[in-house]
Structure 1
Amino acid sequence: MSSSRFIITVIGIDKVGIVAGITQTMAEYNVNIVDISQTIMDDLFTMIMLAQITEENFDLSAFQQAMSEKGTALGVEVKVQHEDAFRFMHRI
């Protein structure tokens, strides 16, 4: 991987504890938030984060699985994409 940054998206019905639960899992994997945007549209919660790691041997698939499981527990959809893959998929 040429970058150590990830795009994390969270979407679901708003309720207490979403940000706390997501960031707790990120902290467990030593993932730092570089930038964050969050909004609530009616009752729909949306959040996108640019996150970064410093570990050389970071297990991305384990982190993706943990974030997905946390999302399921919170009733939201969580996607983690490596920045390079995200940029490639969203280029014009």
Structure 2
Amino acid sequence: MSFLWAIIAGLIIGLIARAVLPGRQDIPIWLTIILGVLGALIGNVIATALGVRDTGGIDWIRHIVQIAAAAGLIAVVTPLWAKRVRR
């Protein structure tokens, strides 16, 4: 069941990250999900390294770091995907 939650979280984080970035990102939804999941994992590592603790409520700082990590991944991968598709 945790695998399903990781996909759902990756989709949400990836879509928010795409919305934060300016311009259009021509990548498929499956790649958005994968980059969202990777961004969530990287964001968790960074948040833990920064000393962000789990709280009883919503972990806003952790989620912001996750979205930023996913946005960074999407910003790097989108031009690479565009070059791959043009060939």
Question: Which structure carries more strand by proportion?
Answer: 1
Q: Give the TM-score normalised by structure 1.
A: 0.33
Question: Which structure carries more helix by proportion?
Answer: 2
Q: Which has the higher contact order (CA 8 A, sep 6+)?
A: 1
Which is greater in Rg?
Answer: 2
Q: Give the TM-score normalised by structure 2.
A: 0.34
